C-alpha cells in the first residue's frame, strides 16, 4: 500500500513538473516534437537494411542518412550530411523550385538517395554534387566517393536499373556517368534558354505528381526523356521581393485557358547515341506517365487530354517510336492521375487502378490491354497516405496483391491483400492491426513489410512486420515517456473528438474537434474552423497531429490550450472519398465547400459552450481561398485568416484549374462565380491577408489584386507579407513561427476570451 501511494505521488509529481503549455515557438524548435522520424524509408534490394533520413537532434530539418540492420536489430548513421558538406548548403534556382514543388524546401542535408540494384551502393545528392556510399567497403577504406565536383548543380540523380550508370540533369541537359570508367558524357546538348531536357515541366511537377523527365530501360540500354519548350507559354513578370531588395523574374506561367509547355518524348540508345522521337500526338494535352515494359523493348506511355476527361495508355516500340492505344479511361468529370501501375511478370499482365465504379479500385489486365478481372470492389478507396497511390506491391509466388485502403473507415489507412485470381473482389484481407493511420512498404521477396503507424494518441512508430501484421523488429517505438520531446506537454495535451455531420445531399461529413481544457459550465468559448477544403487533401484522419502539416496540427493544440474551440471538417470536394463526394465542385468551386463548412458553424452554435457570434476561420492556399469565400459570401464569421489564397482562378495554372472549371473561354460564368474578387464588396468580419512575396505557385498577384479591390471599396483589412516567402513559407522555421504567432494574436484580439453564457 505504501509502495502504491509512493508511486502515485511520484507520477503526480512527474506530471506536475512536465506540465508545460505548448507554444508556437516550441513547435518550430528542436528537437522535433513528434520524436525521431523516418523520412524516405527504403529497403536494400536484399532486404537486410532499412535506410531512412532522420533529422539531427539540434536541427530537425538537417537530415542524415541512417540504416537499420534487420539481422542485428541495430541502427547506425551511414552519412553525416555536415561532414560531407561543411559549409551552408546553397541551392540552385532549379533545385529550389524542384524542392518547392516536392514540399521539401524547408529541409537541408540529404533529402533524397537511391540504392544500386545490387544493394551495395547508395547514390546521395548533396550540396549540388553527387556521392556514392559503398555499404560493403573495407573498414580501412573511405566508404564515400565523390562523383561530381562542378560549379553547376546536379539534380534528379538516379542509378540506372542494372547499376552501370549514374544519370542526372545539369544546366538543362541530361548527363550520364559510366561507373566502370567514371567517364561523364552529355546525352543532350541543346538545352538552353526555354528548352530543357530530362526535366518535368512546371504543371507536371506542381499538379501531376511527376517530378522527373527521364526514365531508364530495365536493361540500361536506353533512356526515354522529355524535351520541353516553354516558348508557347505566356510570360508573366513576377517580382520576388526579399529583405535586401527586389528581383524581377520573367516567368513562363501557364495560366488557365492559355497555352501549355510543348512536350516531346524521345528515346536515346546508350550504345549508339541514336535518338528516336516518340509519336505522342499530344495535341494540347499532357504527358502524364512513362514506364518501361519489363522487356526494355516497349514503353507504356500515358497521355491525358487537355480537358482531363480521357486518359490513354500507349504501347510504344522504343526502336521506332510508334505505338498504339491499349487502354482508355474516361470520365464525365476528370481522371485522377496516380502511380498504381505494376507489371506482373509471371502472368504477362499488369495491375491498374481506376475510379470507373465511383471509387478507386484495382484491376488486372493482360499486356495487350484486355481486362482480366477486377481485384477489389466496394464503397471505399484503394488510396495511400495523402496521395492517390494505394498499390503497395505484388507477391507473385503467393498470388497476392497488397494495397493501402480506406475499407475500415475513411479516417484510417490499412494494409490489405487480395488474390490475383480473386472471384470475390469485394472480400479483402486486412493485414495491419492497430486502429489509425498506416503506411507500408513491402520487403524485397515480400517476406515482410515496413509499417509506419500513428494515431491521435501515438506519434509515428516504425516496425518491420511479418505478413500477418505481427512485429518482427522495432525500428522506432516512440513512446510518450519522459524522454520524448513532447512529454513536457503531455499533461496539457487535449484529446480530439471525431464525429460526423450530414451534407445537404445526405453524404457524411467527418470532423475532428478540440475543446479547451477545464471548461467551466455557463461559459462560452470562441471557436476557430481550420480548413483546407480543396481536392486531394484530407484533414480529418486518425493520425498524429496530422491531416495537414504536423506544425498545423500542433497549432490547433495551441489554439485550444489558449481557450479556443477548434473544428476541422472535410467538406465535399476534398480528397479520397469517391467521385460523388469529390466531383460536386465540377464547373464551380467555393459553393458546396462553403455550404458544408456552414454545417460546421451550425454544429458549433448548437453547442452550449460555443460563443456562436465569435467564430473565426483560417486556411492556407485553397484554405486561404476558402477563408475569403467564407468572409465574402456569408456572415457567419467574425474574423478570418487567408494565407496565400487564390482570388481569381484565371490566374492559376492550367492543369489544376481546368480539371475542375474547364477553361475560362468555355466556362466564363463558372470562373466568375468561383472567384473572390466579385464578392469583395460583401466582406464581413475582420480579415488578415497573408502572402509570400516570392510565391511562384499562387502568385503574389492574387493578393495584390484583392488588396487593390478592397482599397477601392474602402474596406478595412490587415495584411502581412513575407519578403522572400514562397508558397510553403509556413513550413520554414522563422516564417512559420512568425505566421502562427501572428494568427494566435489576431484571433485572441478579434474573437476574445471565454465569456459567461447569457
Q: Which residues are catalytic?
A: 621, 695, 727
Question: Could you report how far apart the first and last alpha carbons of the chain are, in Å?
Answer: 49
CA distance 353 to 376: 10
Distance CA 593, CA 720 (A): 26
What is the three-class DSSP state of 510? Answer: strand
Measured CA to CA, the distance from residue 475 to residue 621 in angstroms comes to: 35
314: Cα within 13 Å, side-chain hemisphere? 22
> How far apart, in whole angstroms, are the C-alpha atoms of residue 484 and residue 208?
38
DSSP one-letter string for 628-670: HHHHHH-S--SEEEEES--S-GGGSBHHHHHHHH--TTT-HHH
Half-sphere CA count of 604, side-chain side, radius 13 A: 33
Secondary structure of 66-126 in the HEC alphabet?
A: EEEECCCCEEEEEECHHHHCCCCCCCCHHHHHHHHHHCCCCCEECCCCEECCCCCEEEEEE
DSSP lists the bridge partners of residue 474 as 463
Pairing of strands 195-197, 214-216: unpaired
| 523-530 vs 565-569, strand pairing mode | parallel
Instruction: List strand residue ranges (DSSP E) for 137-198, in order.
Output: 144-146, 155-159, 165-170, 173-178, 183-186, 195-197
Asked whether the beta carbons of 388 and 406 are under 8 A apart, the reply is: no
What is the C-alpha separation between 174 and 487, in angstroms, rounded?
49
| Distance separating alpha carbons of residues 213 and 224, to the nearest angstrom | 8
* Nine cell digits for residue 393: 506491391
List the one residue out of 141, 179, 135 whose CA is nearest residue 157.
179
Helix (H) or strand (E) holding 245: strand 245-252
The C-alpha cell that represents 147 in the structure block:
562523383
How far from 249 is each of 227, 235, 271, 328, 696, CA to CA, in Å? 23, 10, 40, 40, 10
Contact 717, 710 (CB under 8 A): yes
Per-residue cell: 383:
488510396
**Longest Cα separation, the chain:** 85
The string over 249-283, giving b where at least 16 C-beta atoms fall within 10 Å of a residue's C-beta and e elsewhere, is eebbbbbbbbebbbbebbbbebeeeeebebebebe
Rounded-to-integer distance, Cα 449 and Cα 399, Å:
17
Amino acid at each position: 500500500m505504501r509502495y502504491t501511494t509512493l508511486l502515485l505521488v511520484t507520477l503526480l509529481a512527474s506530471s506536475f513538473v512536465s506540465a508545460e503549455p505548448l507554444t508556437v515557438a516550441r513547435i518550430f524548435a528542436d528537437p522535433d516534437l513528434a520524436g525521431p522520424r523516418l523520412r524516405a524509408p527504403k529497403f536494400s534490394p536484399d532486404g537486410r537494411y532499412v535506410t531512412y533520413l532522420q533529422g539531427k537532434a539540434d536541427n530537425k530539418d538537417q537530415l542524415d542518412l541512417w540504416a537499420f540492420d534487420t539481422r542485428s536489430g541495430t541502427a547506425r548513421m551511414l552519412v553525416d550530411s555536415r561532414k560531407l558538406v561543411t559549409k551552408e548548403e546553397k541551392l540552385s534556382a532549379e533545385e529550389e523550385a524542384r524542392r518547392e514543388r516536392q514540399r521539401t524546401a524547408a529541409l537541408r542535408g540529404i533529402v533524397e538517395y537511391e540504392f544500386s540494384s545490387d544493394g551495395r551502393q547508395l547514390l546521395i545528392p548533396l550540396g549540388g554534387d553527387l556521392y556514392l556510399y559503398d555499404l560493403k567497403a573495407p573498414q580501412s577504406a573511405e566508404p564515400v566517393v565523390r562523383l561530381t565536383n562542378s560549379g553547376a548543380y546536379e539534380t534528379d540523380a538516379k542509378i540506372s536499373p542494372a547499376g552501370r550508370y549514374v544519370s542526372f540533369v545539369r544546366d538543362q541537359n541530361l548527363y550520364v556517368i559510366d561507373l566502370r570508367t567514371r567517364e561523364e558524357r552529355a546525352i543532350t546538348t541543346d538545352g538552353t534558354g526555354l528548352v530543357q531536357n530530362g526535366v518535368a515541366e512546371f504543371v507536371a511537377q506542381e499538379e501531376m505528381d511527376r517530378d522527373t523527365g527521364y526514365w531508364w530501360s530495365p536493361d540500361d540500354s536506353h533512356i526515354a526523356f522529355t524535351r520541353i519548350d516553354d516558348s508557347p507559354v505566356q510570360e508573366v513578370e513576377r517580382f520576388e521581393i526579399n529583405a535586401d531588395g527586389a528581383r524581377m523574374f520573367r516567368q513562363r506561367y501557364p495560366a488557365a485557358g492559355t497555352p501549355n509547355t510543348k512536350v516531346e518524348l524521345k528515346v536515346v540508345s546508350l550504345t549508339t547515341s541514336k535518338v528516336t522521337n516518340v509519336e505522342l500526338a499530344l495535341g494540347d494535352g499532357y504527358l502524364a506517365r512513362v514506364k518501361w515494359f519489363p522487356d526494355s523493348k516497349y514503353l507504356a506511355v500515358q497521355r491525358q487530354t487537355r480537358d482531363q476527361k480521357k486518359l490513354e495508355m500507349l504501347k510504344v516500340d522504343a526502336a521506332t517510336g510508334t505505338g498504339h492505344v491499349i487502354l482508355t479511361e474516361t470520365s464525365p468529370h476528370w481522371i485522377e492521375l496516380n502511380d498504381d501501375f505494376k507489371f506482373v511478370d509471371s502472368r504477362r499482365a499488369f495491375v491498374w487502378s481506376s475510379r470507373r465504379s465511383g471509387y478507386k479500385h484495382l484491376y488486372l489486365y493482360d499486356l495487350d490491354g484486355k481486362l482480366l478481372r477486377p481485384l477489389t470492389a466496394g464503397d471505399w478507396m484503394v488510396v495511400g497516405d495523402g496521395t492517390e497511390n494505394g498499390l503497395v506491391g505484388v507477391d507473385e509466388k503467393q498470388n497476392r496483391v497488397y494495397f493501402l485502403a480506406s475499407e475500415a473507415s475513411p479516417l484510417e489507412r490499412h494494409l490489405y491483400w487480395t488474390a490475383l485470381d480473386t472471384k470475390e473482389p469485394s472480400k479483402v484481407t486486412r493485414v495491419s492491426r492497430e486502429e489509425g493511420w498506416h503506411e507500408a512498404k513491402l520487403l524485397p521477396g515480400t517476406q515482410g513489410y515496413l509499417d509506419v503507424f500513428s494515431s491521435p494518441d501515438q506519434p509515428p512508430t516504425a516496425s518491420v512486420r511479418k505478413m500477418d501484421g505481427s512485429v518482427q523488429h522495432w525500428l522506432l517505438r516512440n513512446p510518450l515517456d519522459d524522454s520524448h520531446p513532447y512529454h513536457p506537454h503531455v499533461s496539457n495535451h487535449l484529446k480530439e473528438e471525431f464525429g460526423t455531420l450530414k451534407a445537404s445531399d445526405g453524404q457524411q461529413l467527418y470532423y475532428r474537434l478540440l475543446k479547451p481544457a477545464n471548461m467551466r459550465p455557463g461559459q462560452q468559448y470562441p471557436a476557430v474552423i481550420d480548413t483546407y477544403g480543396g481536392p486531394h487533401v484530407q484533414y480529418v484522419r486518425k493520425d498524429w497531429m496530422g491531416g495537414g502539416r504536423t506544425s498545423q496540427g500542433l497549432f490547433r493544440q495551441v489554439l485550444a490550450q489558449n481557450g479556443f474551440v477548434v473544428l476541422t471538417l472535410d467538406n465535399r470536394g476534398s480528397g479520397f472519398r469517391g467521385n460523388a463526394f469529390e466531383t460536386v465542385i465540377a464547373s464551380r468551386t467555393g459553393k458546396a465547400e462553403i455550404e458544408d463548412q456552414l454545417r460546421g458553424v451550425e454544429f458549433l452554435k448548437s453547442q452550449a459552450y460555443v460563443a456562436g457570434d465569435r467564430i473565426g476561420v483560417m486556411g492556407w492556399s485553397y484554405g486561404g481561398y476558402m477563408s475569403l469565400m467564407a468572409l465574402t459570401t456569408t456572415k457567419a464569421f467574425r474574423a478570418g485568416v487567408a494565407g496565400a489564397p487564390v482570388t481569381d482562378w484565371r490566374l492559376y495554372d492550367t492543369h489544376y484549374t481546368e480539371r475542375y472549371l474547364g477553361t475560362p473561354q468555355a466556362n466564363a460564368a463558372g470562373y466568375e462565380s468561383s472567384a473572390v474578387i466579385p464578392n469583395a464588396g460583401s466582406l464581413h468580419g475582420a480579415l488578415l491577408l497573408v502572402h509570400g512575396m516570392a510565391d511562384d505557385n499562387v502568385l503574389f498577384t492574387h493578393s495584390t489584386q484583392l488588396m487593390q479591390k478592397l482599397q477601392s471599396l474602402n474596406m478595412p483589412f490587415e495584411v502581412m507579407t513575407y519578403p522572400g516567402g514562397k508558397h510553403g513559407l509556413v513550413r520554414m522555421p522563422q516564417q512559420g513561427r512568425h505566421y502562427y504567432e501572428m494568427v494566435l494574436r489576431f484571433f485572441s484580439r478579434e474573437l476574445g476570451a471565454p465569456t459567461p453564457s447569457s
